Amino acid sequence: MKIALFGGTFDPVHIAHLRMARMLADRLQLDRVLFMPTFVPPHKIKSSDTAASDRFQMCRLAVEDDPRFAVSDLELTRGGASFTVDTLTELKEQYPDAQWYLLVGADMFMTFGTWYRFEDILSMATVCTVPREDVTAAELQAYADTLPVKSARFEILDTPVGDISSSDIRERIAAGRSFDDLVPASVERYILERGLYSDPVFMDLKQMEPQFIEIIRKRESDRRFLHSLEVAREAERLAKKYGTDPDKARVAGLLHDVMKDISPDEQLQIFKDFDILLDDVEQKAKKLWHARAGAAFLEHILKISDQDLLNAVRYHTTARAGMSLLEKVLYIADFTSADRDYDDVDVMRKLADRSLKEAMRYALEYTVRDLTDRGHPVHPDTLAALHEIKTGGNDYGG
């Protein structure tokens, strides 16, 4: 059996997607093309503002006329950012006798060498693509020839499928312009009936909270998930006590460790994808990586633009000079959440209730002493934060 995986945000699915799938299915005599809407894409600096259920339903409507096509909710059910290598591994376990193909748009094909474990993908599937107006078949083949996997298999068609982009369709709909020639009629009706893309979407953190909880539930161990929930509760409590936004503090608590349980290789891939440079201490201290990777995940994958929240996640491990009230609240909440049981936790909790500044000073001194005793480097941001408190800088609001 020959099966192709065709992943994408499909926001919305359009006729170029279908044309590409049909051309490759005809060329390769595929038995099935499995459309796979992503929850959030790991290789694009974009996340969908459209509900996963809507994108899934649009795909179902779009493929219903071709018996070779099907839609899978595997990545939507998994939640979070799914890497293609993980999805292919799971599919190969479900269909061990199938011959696998991976359908990729020309733009993503030209970045394939940056994908997480792309060598493993090439060992599992034939990668297929088609040219477009700005990328010829010859250019696609030339790029394929640069990939350092001798056994890699590629199928590159000669005929373009047309330059249609989902973002252009969304812009047309928002502007009230016609788009009926760009999507199947059934998808057009669904978009109009549901009022999709008609108005700009602004992220409501409180409204998004159930989705955030599902993301961390899928990405974190049971123990880490419990910790995140407890930090969220404590951050909300401290925010109310010291006068910062409790909703924002709760979300920061939920998401602060979203990258803690992924492997160092995956964290490094995130740094590479988003051009993040680690300083000398960070390069040697892998325990610090999750904070920077987490802030990048929030900004580029979840599309959270609130800089204060992003900074709170980024500096929740090291702290820094000039911290905002939200940053301090999250830093202390991570120390004093109900699941914590280290020796000085009761002292920390009493200080957190009495004075945020005293709690910060105690926590920073505890951190510096602990790292020094174990022979580990102390990040300059931690030292700067402690120096600021000792010299009376920054307003602590309590």
Final residue belonging to a domain, choices 164, 194, 224: 194
Q: The domain that contains 236 carries what CATH number?
A: 1.10.3210.10
**Domain-embedded: residue 395:** no
Q: Same domain, yes or no, for 292 and 248?
A: yes
Q: Same domain, yes or no, for 332 and 292?
A: yes
Q: Same domain, yes or no, for 173 and 249?
A: no
**Domain-embedded: residue 189:** yes
Final residue belonging to a domain, choices 152, 175, 194: 194
Can you give the C-alpha Rg of the chain in angstroms? 24
Q: Same domain, yes or no, for 214 and 84?
A: no
Query: Which tokens go with 291?
Result: 């904070």
How many CB atoms within 10 Å of residue 346?
A: 12
Q: What is the 3-state secondary structure (H, E, C) of 47-99?
A: CCCCCHHHHHHHHHHHHCCCCCEEECCHHHHHCCECCHHHHHHHHHHHCCCCE
Q: Which pLDDT score is estimated for 47?
A: 45
Q: Which pLDDT score is estimated for 234?
A: 97
Q: How confident is the model over 32-86, as pLDDT tens digits?
A: 999 999 886 554 444 456 888 899 999 999 999 999 999 999 998 887 667 899 9
Q: Which pLDDT score is estimated for 192?
A: 85
Backbone angles phi, psi at 6, to 5 degrees: -125, 95
Q: Same domain, yes or no, for 301 and 334?
A: yes
Q: Which pLDDT score is estimated for 348?
A: 94
Q: Which pLDDT score is estimated for 61?
A: 97
Structural domain of residue 175, as residue ranges?
2-194
Q: In terms of DSSP bridges, do strands 126-129 and 32-37 run parallel, antiparallel, or are they unpaired?
A: unpaired
Final residue belonging to a domain, choices 163, 194, 225: 194
Q: Which pLDDT score is estimated for 40?
A: 65
Q: Same domain, yes or no, for 230 and 279?
A: yes
For the chain, the average pLDDT equals: 89
Low-confidence ranges of the chain (pLDDT < 50): 43-47, 200-203, 397-398
**Domain-embedded: residue 380:** yes
Q: Which pLDDT score is estimated for 335?
A: 95
Q: Which pLDDT score is estimated for 204?
A: 64
**Domain-embedded: residue 34:** yes
Query: Which tokens go with 173?
Result: 């709909």
Q: How are the residues of the chain apportioned to helix, strand and coil, as percentages rounded to the nearest 5?
A: 55, 10, 35
Q: Same domain, yes or no, for 284 and 182?
A: no
Q: How many domains are contained in the chain?
A: 2
**Domain-embedded: residue 91:** yes
Q: Same domain, yes or no, for 160 and 264?
A: no
Q: The domain that contains 98 carries what CATH number?
A: 3.40.50.620
Q: Which pLDDT score is estimated for 188?
A: 92
Bridge partners for 37 per DSSP: 8
Q: Which pLDDT score is estimated for 393?
A: 67
Q: Same domain, yes or no, for 226 and 331?
A: yes
Q: Same domain, yes or no, for 181 and 283?
A: no
Q: Which pLDDT score is estimated for 394?
A: 63
**Domain-embedded: residue 114:** yes
Report the predicted TM-score, pTM, of the whole model to 2 decimal places: 0.54
**Domain-embedded: residue 295:** yes
Q: Same domain, yes or no, for 301 and 164?
A: no
**Domain-embedded: residue 398:** no
Q: Same domain, yes or no, for 128 and 156?
A: yes
